[in-house]
Amino acid sequence: MLLEFKNISYKYPDSINEVFKNLTCRIATPGFHALFGPSGVGKTTLAKMMIGEVKGFGGQILTSEIHRILYTYNLERLPGWSTVREHLATTTPESNKAKFEDLVTTFGMELFINSRFSQLSLGQQNRTNLVRYLLQEFDLLIMDESLANVDEVTKESIILKMKTTFSDRCFLYISHNVAEVAKFCKQILVLRGRHKNPQTVSILGQDHSNAKNLDKNSLEQTMLEIVNAF
């Protein structure tokens, strides 16, 4: 499995400043990876290049064994006229229906599964939307602040479940939470901005999972590496 950005250059329409200039980086394994950096550095723009929403850039985005890329973000909305259960039931492929109840339980959705999306809190909406994507067929799922409004305990159980259930898939996690990406991600691509050389730095995360103990000293060291990368 390979995802590679090769000499990516891009500037927004009507702007004279480039967001990226010959940006190059790669992810070569399945697992939970991160795209990290300050606001305005181009994380969402890079993600939208992968799904074809942003065009007109120079360079190449190369993939191998990645055939379907999905993108989800924290403010995404679902239709309000059906219940969460009804919506998920109608959008889930037959091949994935067996995962439905397990994910509902892991994501703590039992209490609101029969409510309409518009009745949910932001955290409940985030969980619902993410489950909808996990029940689709995908090779790479880009999660753009997808769990931003979910409490830390629930968020950890969700991420650990995802890493166990979808160990053969690739996730690209966009977050502003340095402790979160350092703890859960295998590889952290830090976007530093077009004026920095190199524009990206790749840092090994702790890749915490149910099968792997977390060393707090190593976690703190990884967090320092990420902060110092700027």
pTM of the model: 0.94
What does the alpha-carbon distance between residue 192 and residue 73 come to, in Å, rounded to a whole number?
22
Whole-angstrom Cα distance, residue 118 to residue 155? Answer: 21
Rounded to whole angstroms, how far apart are CA atoms 58 and 20? 9
Residue 161: CB atoms within 10 A of its CB come to 17
Q: Residue 204: which region, alpha, beta or left (left: phi > 0; alpha: psi -120 to 50)? A: beta
Q: Domain map of the chain by residue range?
A: 2-228
| Mean pLDDT within 80-91 | 89
Token digits of residue 155: 């968020």
| Span 105-130, pLDDT tens digits | 999 999 999 999 999 999 999 999 99
CATH number of the domain at 2-228, please? 3.40.50.300
Largest CA distance in the chain: 51
Q: At residue 163, does pLDDT exceed 80?
A: yes
Write down the pLDDT at residue 193.
Answer: 84
Contact between 192 and 229 under an 8 Å Cβ cutoff? The reply is yes
CA angle, 105 as apex, 34 and 111 as ends, to 5°?
115
More confident residue, 149 or 193: 149
CA-based nearest residue to 187, from 212, 170, 167: 170
For residues 170 and 98, the answer to whether their CB atoms sit within 8 Å is no
Note whether 46 and 20 are within 8 A (CB).
yes
- Reported as a pLDDT band with limits 50, 70 and 90, residue 39 is confident
* φ and ψ of 50, to 5 deg: -65, -30
